[in-house]
Amino acid sequence: MADSKPAPARPSFAPRHTGPLTALQVIQLVLDKVGAGYRPATIDHVSAGDPLTPVTGIAVTPIASLAVLRQAAGAGQNLVITYDPGFWSSSDNLDGMEGNDLFLLKRDVIRDHHLIVFNLHDHWRDRVPDGLTQGMAQALGWAMAKEGGVFEIARTPLLVLARSLAGRFGDRTIRVVGDPRLPVRRVALALGNAAQMPTIALLNGPADMVLAGYCREWEAVEYVQDMVASGSKKAMILLGEIVSAAPGMKACAEWLKTVTEIPVAYVEAAPGYWS
């Protein structure tokens, strides 16, 4: 009769890592701990820097702007975890940027300070609950309705709600679509880019209003306008991309503090507009 005992484990002769964690190791830790499923295609990637660089500190931000990179470097935070990319396209496509002076400046800041920039977008949104949505709900103190999909708030006129959000987030360019007197009770979130069909589906659901980051104005914005013209009592508030992503990335920074002993700090990114 064959021996049913399991074969002994093969001994490992690899040296145990005792030095500072590299950016690659920290990124793998983040992806392991975030709890999102495997993605065969993702925009989450190391967009700049050497991932084998030892990490001295972590900066978390909505977007890896030049100002954010300089602030992180000055604070000794050389791993920058960003929701949005730093090189002006969704996948940091650098075609045509070879001789661009601003690209060269940003590249040199990253090189000179040994920074590593990692885009954490898809996996943070795939987390359950969605990291961006959870961060916004916590910031506003909103609770999900029992049937899910929308948040229930005290009934508030649309104009009053918009002013409250603008004040809370220091949002100087908040945009509102709908009747200012509309009583808002149920809110759906489409943070970041409010893509056309998912946002239209939210508008056709039980929510009175969609709170979004931004969208193409001839898509969801026009859809809300047409809904209002048809007699539907619906509305939309556009916070802007950075304002809509900031609470979720602040929550990401707090979460990261629970999974690594490396110092973690949230770095504010200034909104791009003024009015």
Express each pLDDT in 226-256 by its tens digit: 999 999 999 999 999 999 999 999 999 999 9
Tokens of residue 125, six digits: 């949104």
HEC-encoded secondary structure of 46-107? EEECCCCCECCCEEEEEECCHHHHHHHHHCCCCEEEEEECCCCCCCCCCCCCCCCHHHHHHH
Question: Which pTM value belongs to this model?
Answer: 0.90
Q: What is the rounded CA–CA span in Å between residue 167 and residue 170?
A: 5
**Mean local confidence (pLDDT), 154-160:** 98
> pLDDT at residue 121 above 90?
yes
**For the chain, how long is the longest CA-to-CA vector?**
83
CA distances from 106 to 9, 48, 68, 145 (A): 49, 10, 11, 44
**Mean local confidence (pLDDT), 55-84:** 97
Res 12: pLDDT: 47
**Mean local confidence (pLDDT), 60-66:** 97
Average the pLDDT over each of 8-12, 22-26, 104-108, 123-127 and give the range with the smallest value. Answer: 8-12
* pLDDT band at 109; cut points 50, 70, 90: very high
Within a 10 A sphere around the Cβ of 118, how many other Cβ atoms? 23
* pLDDT band at 181; cut points 50, 70, 90: very high
**Mean local confidence (pLDDT), 32-38:** 87
**Mean local confidence (pLDDT), 153-163:** 98
For residues 31 and 39, the answer to whether their CB atoms sit within 8 Å is no
> pLDDT at residue 22 above 80?
yes
Instruction: Provide the 3-class DSSP secondary structure of residue 250.
Output: helix
**Domains of the chain: residue spans and CATH:** 23-125 (3.40.1390.30), 131-241 (3.40.1390.30)
14's enclosing H/E stretch is none
For residues 174 and 194, the answer to whether their CB atoms sit within 8 Å is no
Rg of the chain, C-alpha, whole Å: 22
CA distances from 28 to 77, 94, 101 (A): 18, 25, 33
> pLDDT at residue 11 above 60?
no
**Mean local confidence (pLDDT), 175-192:** 97
